[in-house]
Structure 1
Amino acid sequence: MELKDAVAVVTGANRGLGRHLAAQLVERGATVYAAARRPETVDLPGVIPLRLDVTDEESIRAAATAASDATLLVNNAGISTGTPLIAGSTEAVRLEMEVNFFGPLAATRAFAPVIESNGGGAVLNVLSVLSWLHPAGLGSYAATKAAAWAQTNAAREELAPRGITVSGLYVGYMDTDMAAGVPDDQKTDPAEVAAHALAGIETGLPEILADDTTRYVKQGLAAPLNAG
């Protein structure tokens, strides 16, 4: 997909990776709707702030109406509560699933007809190495990202006949608020991850692996499981 002159909607664009994605899309010549629950927190020059709460389907439908010229949807908004599946709060597990799985699904369902009516385009789902690696302490987050991996693959097949490509971005720790407690030497620069992601969209990659850790984990998926 050619990003110059594309019209992109980036969820969670007010900070972290989403902010870098929005900024780099502007640099590449795209029109960018920078979506956030509170659009007044979007301070990037050259973007169009857009209210979008991924847990509120009415908000998503309103955003799809406002951004009726969209050709690219970037499902970036997400949360991590550090909740284990068995001992953790059920409410926290449900919240993570609402944001990380049902949010991208609702946004894709709302924007797919918009993108199709504009001649086709692309969807990028920001996922994680934890789509494939499932530590107990982050069991809830990992489960949401594994589910979102399946969503991405199924949506790719379903939307291809409508002229819409669907890509997944897989990455480990980034230097963002979500990984504030992780040592710096274990984190990737989100600007580099954004550049990888946009290059992957341009070339139509179905899976964009943004760092060495993710590539290593992906290669090991066929290895026998450790019974723990």
Structure 2
Amino acid sequence: MELKDAVVVVTGANRGLGRHLATQLLERGAKVYAAARRPETVDLAGVTPLRLDVTDEESIRAAARVASDATLLVNNAGISTATPLIAGGVDAVRLEMETNFFGPLAVTRAFAPVIEGNGGGAVLNILSVLSWLHPAGLGSYAAAKAAAWALTNATREELAPRGIAVSALHVGYMDTDMAAVIPAEQKVDPADVAAQALTGIEQGLPEILADETTRYVKQGLATAPTPA
């Protein structure tokens, strides 16, 4: 997909990877709707702030009406509560699933007819190495990202006849607020991850693996689980 003159909606664009994606999309000549729950927190020159809460269906529908010229959707908004599935609070588990799975599903459902009506385009889902690697302490996040991986694969098949390509970005720890407690040497630069993601979209890649950890884990998916 050509990003020059594309019209892109980036959810969670006010910080972290989303902000880098919005910045680099502008540099590549795209029009960018920088979506956030609080659009007043978007401080990037050149973007159009857009109110969008991925857990609020009405806000999603309203955003699709405003960004009616969109040709690319980037489902970036997400949360991590570091909640285990058995010992953790079920409300936190539900919140992660609502935000990281049902949120991208709802936004994709709202924007698919918009993108199709504008001649087709693409959807990029920001996922994680934890789509495939499921540590107990991050069980709710991993479960939601695994579900979002299935969402990506299923909607890729469903939306292809409508002229919409669906891609996934998988990455480990990035140097963002979400991974603030992780040592710096274990994190990758989100600017580099954003560049890889956008190049992958331009090349039509269905899956973008942004770091060595992610590539290693993906390679080992056929290996039997190690007993606890």
What TM-score results when the alignment is normalised by the length of structure 1? 1.00
Task: Tell me the amino acid that sits aligned with residue 155 of structure 2.
Answer: A
Measure the CA separation in 2 of the matches of 1:154 and 1:227: 30
Measure the CA separation in 2 of the matches of 1:99 and 1:26: 26
Per-residue CA deviation, residues 169-221 of structure 1 (Å, 9 max, x unaligned), is: 00000000000000000000000000000000001101000000000000000
**1:16 maps to which residue?**
16
Measured after TM superposition, the shift of residue 124 of structure 1 is 0.2
Measure the CA separation in 2 of the matches of 1:214 and 1:72: 25
Per-residue CA deviation, residues 105-161 of structure 1 (Å, 9 max, x unaligned), is: 000000000000000000000000000000000000000000000000000000000
Measured after TM superposition, the shift of residue 82 of structure 1 is 0.3
Measure the CA separation in 1 of the matches of 2:143 and 2:51: 27
Query: What SS is found at the alignment partner of 2:208?
Result: strand
Measure the CA separation in 2 of the matches of 1:143 and 1:224: 18
1:60-209 equivalence runs, <5 A: 60-209=60-209
Gaps of 5+ in 1: none
Query: What SS is found at the alignment partner of 1:46?
Result: coil
Measured after TM superposition, the shift of residue 60 of structure 1 is 0.2
Task: Tell me the amino acid that sits aligned with residue 53 of structure 1.
Answer: D
Measure the CA separation in 2 of the matches of 1:171 and 1:60: 26
Task: Tell me the amino acid that sits aligned with residue 172 of structure 1.
Answer: G
Query: What SS is found at the alignment partner of 1:33?
Result: strand
- Residue identity (%): 83
Task: Tell me the amino acid that sits aligned with residue 69 of structure 2.
Answer: D
Measure the CA separation in 2 of the matches of 1:164 and 1:224: 35
Task: Tell me the amino acid that sits aligned with residue 69 of structure 1.
Answer: D
Measure the CA separation in 1 of the matches of 2:128 and 2:21: 16
Measure the CA separation in 2 of the matches of 1:45 and 1:201: 23
Measure the CA separation in 2 of the matches of 1:225 and 1:36: 38
Stretches (4+) displaced over 3 A: none
1:27-66 equivalence runs, <5 A: 27-66=27-66
Measured after TM superposition, the shift of residue 227 of structure 1 is 1.8
What TM-score results when the alignment is normalised by the length of structure 2? 1.00
Measured after TM superposition, the shift of residue 52 of structure 1 is 0.1
Task: Tell me the amino acid that sits aligned with residue 219 of structure 1.
Answer: Q
Measure the CA separation in 2 of the matches of 1:42 and 1:225: 43
Query: What SS is found at the alignment partner of 1:166?
Result: strand
Aligned pair count reads 228
Per-residue CA deviation, residues 76-96 of structure 1 (Å, 9 max, x unaligned), is: 000000000000000000000
